[in-house]
Chains A and B, each alone.
Chain A
C-alpha cells in the first residue's frame, strides 16, 4: 500500500450517474426526486437554464434538505435575471426564516435586476417587508443605496425599520446623510436603541 499514482484521469472520470436525463425537462423531474443528492445535482445543473428561475423557487417551498436549498439559491444567483428577481421577491413574505434570508442574500447579489423593485418594497404596507428591503440595502451594490436609506430615515414610521436603516448607514453612510440621521433620531427621541445606533453611525461616518 502506498502513495499511488492515480491512473490517468482517474479522479476525473465520467461517472455513471451522468446517465439520467440532463435535458431541461429531465432536470425539472429530478428536482422532485426522492433522493436529495439527485435533487441537489438537478438544482446545480438548472443554473444553465434561464427558464428555471420560477421552478427553482417553487421547489424551495417544499424543500427541507439544507444542501438542496443551498444549491437552489446558488443557481438562482447564477441566473441573475429579472425573472429570478421576480421569483424571489415573494419569498420576503415567507414564514420560513431560511427562505426569507436566502432571498435577501440572493437579491442583494443581483443589484441591476433588483434595483427596480426597491422603491415598491420600501413602500410596502407590511412593515416586515419594508424591514427586509432595508436589510437588502445593507448588501446591495448600487449607487442609489444612500438615497434609499435617506428616504427611510426621513419618512419610515416603524422604529425597527429606521433602526435597520441606521445599521446600513454605519457602512454606507456619508456626511451628506448626517442631517437625515439627526431627523430620524429626533422622530424617535425616546428610543434608546436608535440613539445608540445613531452614535455608532456618526462615529463611522466621521466629521464633514
Chain B
C-alpha cells in the first residue's frame, strides 16, 4: 500500500485531503509543518517509507519550499514525488515550487478527482490515473 504524508498547518485541510486519499486506498500520515514532516521522514520504518508528499506552501517554522529543498538534499531519501498545494491567489508561486524540487502544483483544497488522479500519476499508477481522469471529465 502506498503511504502519503500530508503536510499542512491547517487541521481541516489535513483532514480533508487525508480523507480523500484514505478513501482512495492510501495510508495517510500527517505533519503540521516542514520540521515535523522531516521528523516523520527520519522515523519512517525502512520497509514502509513515504511514497508521496502533499505539501502546503504556507506553514510556520518551515514553509513548503524550504521543506522540499531540504527533502531533496537528503541523501537517504530517494526522489519521492512531491505535490505542492497553495491557495488560488498564490498560483504565481508554482515556478518557485518546481525550482525547489516539487513535481506538481495545485490550488487547494484539491477536488477529490484531481487529487486522486494526481496521486496516481505521481505514484506511476497508470491504470488508476486513467480511471480518475475519466471521473474528472464526468464531474465537469
Tell whether any CB of A sits under 8 Å from a CB of B in the complex.
Answer: yes
How far, in whole Å, are A135 and B33 apart by their CA atoms in the complex?
Answer: 14
Known A-B contacts A100-B58, A101-B58, A167-B11; the reply to A196 vs B16 at CB < 8 A is yes
For the complex, count residues of B whose C-beta is within 8 A of A.
Answer: 27
Query: How many inter-chain contacts with C-beta < 8 Å in the A-B complex?
Result: 65
Closest to B96 in A: A97
How far, in whole Å, are A139 and B11 apart by their CA atoms in the complex?
Answer: 14
Q: Are B64 and A97 in contact (CB under 8 A)?
A: yes
Q: A145 at interface (Cβ–Cβ under 8 A)?
A: no
Choice from B10, B19, B59 contacting A167 with Cβ under 8 Å: B10
Closest to B111 in A: A192
Q: B102 at interface (Cβ–Cβ under 8 A)?
A: no
Q: How far is the CB of A203 from chain B (nearest CB, A)?
A: 10
Q: Which secondary structure dominates chain B's binding surface?
A: helix
Q: Are B63 and A200 in contact (CB under 8 A)?
A: no
Q: Are B15 and A167 in contact (CB under 8 A)?
A: no
Known A-B contacts A105-B60, A131-B87, A170-B11; the reply to A193 vs B65 at CB < 8 A is no
CB-defined contacts of B11 to chain A, threshold 8 Å: 167, 170, 200
Q: Which of B66-98 contact A (CB under 8 A)?
A: 66, 87-90, 92-93, 96
| Residues of chain B having any CB pair with chain A under 8 Å | 10-13, 15-16, 19, 57-61, 63-66, 87-90, 92-93, 96, 108-109, 111-112
Instruction: Write 29 A-B pairs (CB below 8 A) sorted by A numbering.
Output: A66-B66, A95-B92, A95-B93, A97-B58, A97-B63, A97-B64, A98-B63, A101-B59, A105-B60, A105-B61, A127-B89, A132-B58, A139-B60, A158-B89, A160-B87, A160-B88, A160-B89, A160-B108, A163-B109, A166-B12, A167-B10, A167-B13, A192-B112, A193-B12, A193-B13, A193-B109, A196-B12, A196-B15, A196-B16
